[in-house]
């Protein structure tokens, strides 16, 4: 008599509890939650509160409504979460940098393959670069199709199509500085924050008091590094 056929049981999709149990104990779930929350708020802010429209010249523009809508600036005290993302990034990047240094220290010099800073930067920046590569590839394909059929170019819409990349550029620059900022953190501790804060104040003083406009970029850079550096104190 033939043996009955066995039907494999269907696997149910993983529930949130199994995902939590599978999370390594070394991960800080609070930091992960804060980073995810900040990104969600940023996306919703751009979708809901940005007045994206076609201007009179036919270009797609996305002005910031904060300066035009009364009291909307109050919402930025709650929704201005970019610094929070940089703080969470500081926690994660310092942990990754310490692991990279440990691996570089235990490996034999003849067997090492770009350990330390090189391995760290390749790993961290590639995680940012892969999605950007997909974004640019899709955009390039859409641009080619548009030109082939005589449709308006994506770039004709204006710089707004590249807006998502400014944040990745800024964050990538801060990540690239981690070997340096981590070393400064080990040696200077809280004095590093004092120095960065002083840089913000002096740059703004030069900009608003003496009209040196390019110092606004310096202020922005100091603030990004300051927020990222705060994450180092989480560990």
| Interval 120-141 mean pLDDT | 90
Model confidence at 105, in pLDDT bands (50, 70, 90)?
Answer: confident
| Interval 153-158 mean pLDDT | 72
Taking 60 as the threshold, does the pLDDT of residue 151 lie above it? yes
Alpha helices in 45-148 (DSSP H): 76-79, 82-106, 117-148
Q: Quote the tokens at residue 174.
A: 């801060």
pLDDT of residue 109: 45
Taking 90 as the threshold, does the pLDDT of residue 190 lie above it? yes
How far apart, in Å, are the Cα atoms of 101 and each of 26, 116, 181? Answer: 17, 5, 14
Q: Which residue would you say has higher pLDDT here, 5 or 202?
A: 202
Closest CA to 96 of 128, 141, 140, 132: 128
Q: Which residue would you say has higher pLDDT here, 146 or 162?
A: 146
Q: Which residues pair with 21 in a beta bridge?
A: none
Model confidence at 139, in pLDDT bands (50, 70, 90)?
Answer: confident
What are the two backbone dihedrals, phi and then psi, of residue 101, each rounded to the nearest 5 degrees? -70, -40
């Amino acid at each position: 008599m033939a043996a009955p056929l066995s039907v494999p049981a269907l696997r149910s999709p993983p529930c949130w509890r199994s995902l939590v149990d599978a999370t390594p104990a070394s991960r800080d779930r609070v930091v992960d939650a804060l980073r995810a929350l900040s990104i969600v708020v940023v996306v919703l802010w751009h979708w809901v509160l940005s007045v994206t429209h076609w201007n009179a010249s036919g270009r797609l523009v996305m002005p910031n409504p904060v300066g035009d809508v009364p009291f909307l600036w109050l919402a930025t005290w709650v929704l201005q979460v970019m610094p929070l993302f940089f703080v969470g990034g500081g926690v994660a990047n310092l942990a990754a940098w310490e692991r990279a240094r440990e691996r570089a220290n235990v490996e034999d010099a003849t067997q090492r393959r770009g350990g330390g800073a090189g391995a760290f930067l390749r790993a961290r920046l590639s995680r940012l670069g892969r999605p950007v590569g997909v974004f640019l590839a899709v955009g390039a394909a859409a641009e080619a199709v548009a030109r082939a059929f005589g449709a308006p170019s994506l770039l004709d819409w204006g710089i707004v199509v590249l807006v998502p990349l400014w944040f990745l550029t800024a964050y990538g620059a801060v990540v690239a500085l981690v070997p340096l900022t981590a070393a400064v953190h080990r040696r200077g501790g809280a004095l590093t924050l004092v120095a960065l804060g002083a840089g913000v104040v002096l740059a703004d003083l030069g900009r608003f008091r003496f009209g040196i406009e390019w110092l606004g970029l310096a202020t922005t850079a100091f603030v990004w590094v300051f927020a990222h550096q705060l994450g180092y104190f989480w560990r």
